[in-house]
Structure 1
Amino acid sequence: MQELEAVRAATDPLDRVRLATEALAGYQEAIADLGRIRRDAVDYLRSQGMTLSDIADQAGVSRARLSQLSTTKRTPERIIFSEGSTITIAVDTKQEESGRPVVHQEHTAAIEILTRTARKVGLEVNETEYIVSPGLIDLNREGLVVVCGPRRSPLIAQMLAADERYGFGKDDQGWYLMDKSSGEQYRSPEDSGKPGDYAYLGRLPRPDGRGFWLYMAGIHAPGGQGAAMFLEKELSDLYRDAKAGRWSCLVKCQWDSTTGQVQNAELLTPIHHVGRPGARSRRK
């Protein structure tokens, strides 16, 4: 190490202090960078289904050391997901002709995004549930995140009816999202052959009144992925604006017409904060 040799070679004590301080600052920055790189790698491997034991064994490192150094500090933003230490992600399914339930590809991507986002704020995914017909789900649970359209669950439809600002509607042309205060309707670009969709995103009260659950769903499946992308990107601002309160908004997303990959997501309408007169407007 050249810096270390330079410190050792210095004869003036003041030069040693200066050189050692500069070297330590450089090493600390490098250590922090290496730690972030390792945490990102561990998070990715865990999102692919590997356990810490699997990673430690295959990487040839101590599991205890890996667990200690890869632990993510809990941040205030985690309150949007849960007041505890874990979350449960529940997603809807569709039935194949054989009767076997399957998960939309976009909802699988949403699970990965939500898992990554939760881990960034110090939470772990306790379980992933799959909602099947007739769409029954226990909403009175701490740390519940639901990705399920109202067409798949009448219970979800009933819960969304309590939102005085935003919600889903249906007519002879199909499903749409709406701003109840203005009466404006938002029909998915996908319905007219364009590569885009709209989604509802909100933190809603539990039926038992003892907390909240996080909800997102598109008019079509890509909208759910777009809502998860928006949540990941804007989590800090959502926490800053709403803290642990109740809020809802509509999100729009677009995807590459060639690959089908959702590329970006942003606000379609202002964020509605229950009990507050203001709302954050569209953010680029």
Structure 2
Amino acid sequence: MPGQFERIAEIEDPFELLRAATERLAEAQQEVTELSRLRRRLIQDLHSQGMSYAQIAEKAGLSRGRIHQIRHTGPAPEAAFLGVGTVTVATPLRHDPLKGRPVLSLDDMATGQALEDLVRSFDMQAASDHVSVDGTIDLNRPNLVVVCGPAMSEAMRDAYATDPVLRWERTDAWQLTDTSTGHSYRSGQEADPQEPVDIAYVGRLARPDGQGSFLAIAGIHPQGSRGVAHLLNREISSLWGQVRNERFSALVRTVYDPATNEPQSTELITPVYRHGQD
């Protein structure tokens, strides 16, 4: 923006000028990325509605070659499944009685890293945050992904309770129930004999302030959360095509290596339930 450039250029202190110019350049680069992503998504949407690329080009006042170039080279539109701009990935801290301080488990660290890598693969910035040991987390933020179940955070427990279809329940162990079918799913760790299988929740839920939504991920055990990150790396385009920015939820089954907890296979075991517009 010319006005912003003029304002920055008038800064007299050279170090403040350098800082302001660097920050504005980063903002401008992100805006270019998101506008390119939006443009590619619009072309895909118009084509899926039945328009040919030649028709899109004519209506937009662009050449057919330019439309094809945008379609194939712009940033992937499915990145918007995670957010726009900088995406914050929050993982839970746990109290370590031996160290006497909060720590991040290796499984939660692996899940967070996989999600941040996915964000960066779309040329977006990733930031990390944590759910505190007492369960405190600010959910009223844009572009937020939270890896945390209901047992560790009252805020997340309240958020999950707004899901109209899938429900977290606790008897002798945690389970996830699909209220549309009445079927309940438990982790293989509660089976006899135990199995290296876990069930996880993935969904976009309403923020407490009603001003948007956030992405929620939680396995009955941490291996399930790792499975969701694994599935998103393969299926994010398909999920984006089904739900776009709407609120939704689904359950994921993960088979993992019991020695490393690394996901070996993941699959959706419920439909992707759409909750409605954000």
Q: Same fold (TM over 0.5)?
A: yes
Cα 1:87–1:231 shift into 2, 3 Å: same
Which residue number in structure 2 is paired with residue 230 of structure 1?
231
Distance 2:74 2:85 in 1: 11
Amino acid at match of 1:179: D
Which residue number in structure 2 is paired with residue 199 of structure 1?
200
Q: Which moved more, 1:104-113 or 1:147-156?
A: 104-113
Residue 274 of structure 1 aligns to a residue in which SS?
A: strand
Which residue number in structure 2 is paired with residue 280 of structure 1?
none
Distance 2:247 2:94 in 1: 30
User: Are the counterparts in 1 of residues 198 and 219 from structure 2 also a CA contact under 8 Å?
Assistant: yes
Distance 1:103 1:203 in 2: 24
Amino acid at match of 1:168: W
Which residue number in structure 1 is paired with residue 162 of structure 2?
162
Residue 204 of structure 1 aligns to a residue in which SS?
A: strand
Shift of 1:137: 0.9
User: Are the counterparts in 1 of residues 94 and 102 from structure 2 also a CA contact under 8 Å?
Assistant: yes
Distance 1:190 1:227 in 2: 17
Distance 1:275 1:196 in 2: 31
Cα 1:259–1:208 shift into 2, 3 Å: closer
Shift of 1:204: 1.3
Distance 1:223 1:93 in 2: 17
Q: Is structure 2 residue 129 aligned with structure 1 residue 91?
A: no
Cα 1:86–1:187 shift into 2, 3 Å: same
Which residue number in structure 1 is paired with residue 26 of structure 2?
none
1:80-106, Cα deviation, whole Å (9 max, x unpaired): 111x31111111122111431121211
Which residue number in structure 1 is paired with residue 181 of structure 2?
182
Distance 1:159 1:260 in 2: 27
Which runs of 5 or more residues in structure 2 are unaligned? 1-28, 34-72
Amino acid at match of 1:269: T
User: Are the counterparts in 1 of residues 204 and 248 from structure 2 also a CA contact under 8 Å?
Assistant: yes
Distance 2:139 2:95 in 1: 23
Shift of 1:211: 1.6
User: Are the counterparts in 1 of residues 92 and 147 from structure 2 also a CA contact under 8 Å?
Assistant: yes
Shift of 1:121: 2.1
User: Are the counterparts in 2 of residues 73 and 121 from structure 1 also a CA contact under 8 Å?
Assistant: no
Cα 1:240–1:153 shift into 2, 3 Å: same
1:250-265 alignment to 2 at 5 Å?
Answer: 250-265=251-266
1:119-177, Cα deviation, whole Å (9 max, x unpaired): 2222111x211212321111111110100111000110111111011121101x11111
Shift of 1:257: 2.9
User: Are the counterparts in 2 of residues 75 and 122 from structure 1 also a CA contact under 8 Å?
Assistant: no
Residue 157 of structure 2 aligns to a residue in which SS?
A: helix
Amino acid at match of 1:261: E
Distance 2:94 2:129 in 1: 14
Instruction: Please say which structure displays the higher CA radius of gyration.
Output: 1
Shift of 1:108: 1.1
User: Are the counterparts in 2 of residues 85 and 122 from structure 1 also a CA contact under 8 Å?
Assistant: no
Which residue number in structure 2 is paired with residue 132 of structure 1?
132
User: Are the counterparts in 1 of residues 176 and 186 from structure 2 also a CA contact under 8 Å?
Assistant: yes
User: Are the counterparts in 2 of residues 134 and 152 from structure 1 also a CA contact under 8 Å?
Assistant: yes
Distance 2:260 2:144 in 1: 31
Shift of 1:73: 5.3
User: Are the counterparts in 2 of residues 167 and 200 from structure 1 also a CA contact under 8 Å?
Assistant: no
Which runs of 5 or more residues in structure 1 are unaligned? 1-66, 277-284
1:194-250, Cα deviation, whole Å (9 max, x unpaired): 101000000112122222111100000111111111111110001111111111000
Amino acid at match of 1:143: N
Distance 2:207 2:123 in 1: 23
Give the number of equivalent residue pairs: 204
Q: Percent identity?
A: 36
Amino acid at match of 1:109: A
Distance 2:74 2:120 in 1: 9
For the aligned residues, what is the CA RMSD?
1.9
